[in-house]
Amino acid sequence: MPGYFVFAIHFHQPTGQLKRVSDRVFENSYKLLLEVLKEFSDLKFTVHVSGPLLLYASEYYPEWLNELAKLAQYGVIEVLGGSLGEAILPILPGEDRDLQLREYARLAEKVFGLKPRGAWLPERVWEPGLVGHFARSGIEYVLLDDSTLQRANKTSSDSLYPWLTEDAGSRLAAFFIDTALRYVLPWEHPDRVIDFMKSRVRGLENPVLVWGSDAEKFGEWRDPGWARWWLREFLNKLRFEREIQTVHPSEYLKQFGVRGLVYLPPGSYDKMLEWSGGFFRNFIVKYAEVNNMHKKMLWVRRKLERAGGGLEEAWKSYLLAQCNDAYWHGLFGGVYLAHLRQAIYENYIKAERAAEEATGYFGEEARKLLLEDFDYDGLDELLVESRDYNVYVDLRDGGTVFEFDVKRKGLEHNLQDTMSRYAEPYLEGAKFAPDWYRRVSARVHLWSTDTGIDDWLWNTPFKDLGDLALARHYLTHMDKEGVTLRATGGYYVFGSRVAEVEVEKRVRFLSNGYAIDYAVRNLRGGVIRAKVGYEYHLAPKIDRVGEGELSYAVGGSRLSVRDRYVGRASSVRVSSPVYPDVELSASRELEVWAAPLSTLARTEKGLMEMFQGLAVHFVDYVELDPGREVRLTVETRVAW
């Protein structure tokens, strides 16, 4: 009696992927796999193409899609459904889960001429509440990881069968991807892989062994020539193998059904569980940048709901912005990849603007000033919204600007989408100090007089002699032109409080950006001798197609964003080949530090330094007697 084998290949490139990367993967891997599938059309394969990749291939590789669709119509491949944006479904509002699945099914039916019966679950991130969403969308089965079944107190052998699960009366079958097989296929010789497969199924009644993983393992992660040889060798042996027969999941269910009923806990594959601490939503808590994107999603959804029907393109942008890759971090760059985060915001902002226009959101007002708990931390943030831009201020975190969205059509971009450096397990032993604060804008420091650019960039301890950088700010005045924030704190020498200090920020709204009038006051105590630092970070728009160079101009010099600058100047102008210039300008000349904000992140190629934005610090040496103050205005403008 034979065992059965589901060979499921997952094709995916995320929203915002660099065009050269997508094109390289098509040439190295995806075209190769199509050739092999056609060559071995007597076998049965299961294929999932993610929503973002389907849209990309429809535009740039339509013939590849057409050939894949023919294989589906001939019965060579069974097409898996999924979510349009390849989203982590459990972190979405319930209505979005349904919409993601429904819109993918509609796209798949248009491309392949059939409605998928099974689904690929992005990163295999499972929660029990998904059952009803899949059932409502017409999905009969889903592929999960075997660790999820084993956490339900089932054995390794139990994972060689599909099981039925239910939630509130909705039913869903689940097949389980075999972790042990995933670690040998395709890394071992085909003979050893087939021997391993036979050992897994031998002696069992109608077992089904499931392999499901990334297409890039064939031709992208390793040499295409090797991948072609390996696949042909492996599949040719399967052709004549009596103990193992390839099968489509729906075919197996029709013939053998499920093993029984099971209730599955939240889960994913082993590495994702390790990276997330056992629960995917932990990423939202660990990384402020992930939380920011997630809560932007919820904020934009509220606006789309008010708009009612229509706005198909806006909803499509919104769903694509939920693409999972930028919302987590493990082996790959994930949230550390700036071009992916930028694409997320670009799509959310497009949807936001469309919803605002459809509802007449601003009416006769030039802007809205809102106090909302945007990030769900229990305290209100200040949200300033206008037709052309948004400025979000975190009152608790140093009165900083943590989001600056440009909303003009064709310029959708969050200029404040910079990334902080976090402690990661793989960075132990590296020359690295995680950030002690979020790398955003309008933060004020009282640096010791011997502080330099390296101390600021790489977090030399005990250099900030004040506690204002993290101080909670209070909104003290609001009018049509701007708002005023204040915070008080101390200036310390050798741990002793020498003076009481107040920071006042008058945030003014410009036609093409915002200005902050700063006042740093010595309220009482001793003399303050320090470098007052006004800290900014900018995320220039990355050219995802041509990958042109980013640069900046300061002090009469034109520099790459990879270069540093220390000198006297009054402005820094940042340039992108695909975006208008953005300028930070101070009301007087003073010392300027400028440097790339870079993170160290692990990738499949080892540790890599990743550009996150341009860090700019205006530095003013002061000696402030009690009752004295220093003032500075910094404007942030987009040259549209």
Task: List pLDDT tens digits, range 236-270.
Answer: 999 999 999 999 999 999 999 999 999 999 999 99
pLDDT the model gives residue 606: 80
Q: Convert the pLDDT of each residue in 181-213 to its tens digit.
A: 999 999 999 999 999 999 999 999 999 999 999
d(CA 560, CA 633): 26
CB of 341 closer than 8 Å to CB of 15:
no
State the DSSP string of 168-207.
Answer: TTEEEEEEEE-HHHHTTTTTS-HHHHHHHHHHHHTTSSS-
pLDDT the model gives residue 298: 98
595 or 603, higher pLDDT:
595
pLDDT the model gives residue 333: 83
pLDDT the model gives residue 461: 95
Please state at what angle helix 94-112 crosses helix 312-320, rounded to 10 degrees: 100
CB of 346 closer than 8 Å to CB of 353:
no
Residue 271 has pLDDT above 80, yes or no: yes
The arithmetic mean of pLDDT across residues 277-282, rounded, is 97
d(CA 120, CA 9): 10
Of 522, 509, 549, whose CA–CA distance to 386 is shortest?
Answer: 509
pLDDT the model gives residue 608: 87
Residue 51 has pLDDT above 90, yes or no: yes
Average pLDDT, the chain: 97
Give me the residues paired with residue 210 across strands: 6, 177
pLDDT the model gives residue 429: 84
Is residue 315 packed enough to be buried (19+ CB in 10 Å), middle (13-18) or exposed (0-12)? Answer: buried
Give me the residues paired with residue 246 across strands: 5
d(CA 256, CA 155): 20
What are the structure tokens assigned to 107, written together? 């796209």
CA distances from 547 to 413, 498, 541, 542, 576 (A): 17, 50, 10, 7, 10
CB of 144 closer than 8 Å to CB of 177:
yes
Of 508, 344, 366, 311, whose CA–CA distance to 412 is shortest?
Answer: 344
Which ranges constitute the DSSP H helices of 205-331?
Answer: 224-239, 249-256, 270-276, 282-286, 288-307, 312-320
Q: Convert the pLDDT of each residue in 214-234 to its tens digit.
A: 999 999 998 999 999 999 999
pLDDT the model gives residue 602: 79
Residue 521 has pLDDT above 90, yes or no: yes
Amino acid in position 282 = N
Residue 1 has pLDDT above 80, yes or no: no
d(CA 449, CA 376): 38
Give me the residues paired with residue 214 across strands: 10
User: SS3 letters for 468-518?
Assistant: CCCCCCEEEEECCCEEEEEEEEEEEECCEEEEEEEEEEEEEEECCEEEEEE
Percent of the chain with pLDDT over 90: 96
Task: Kindly report the pTM of this predicted structure.
Answer: 0.97
> Going along 51-189, which residue ranges are E strands?
77-81, 118-120, 141-145, 163-167, 170-177
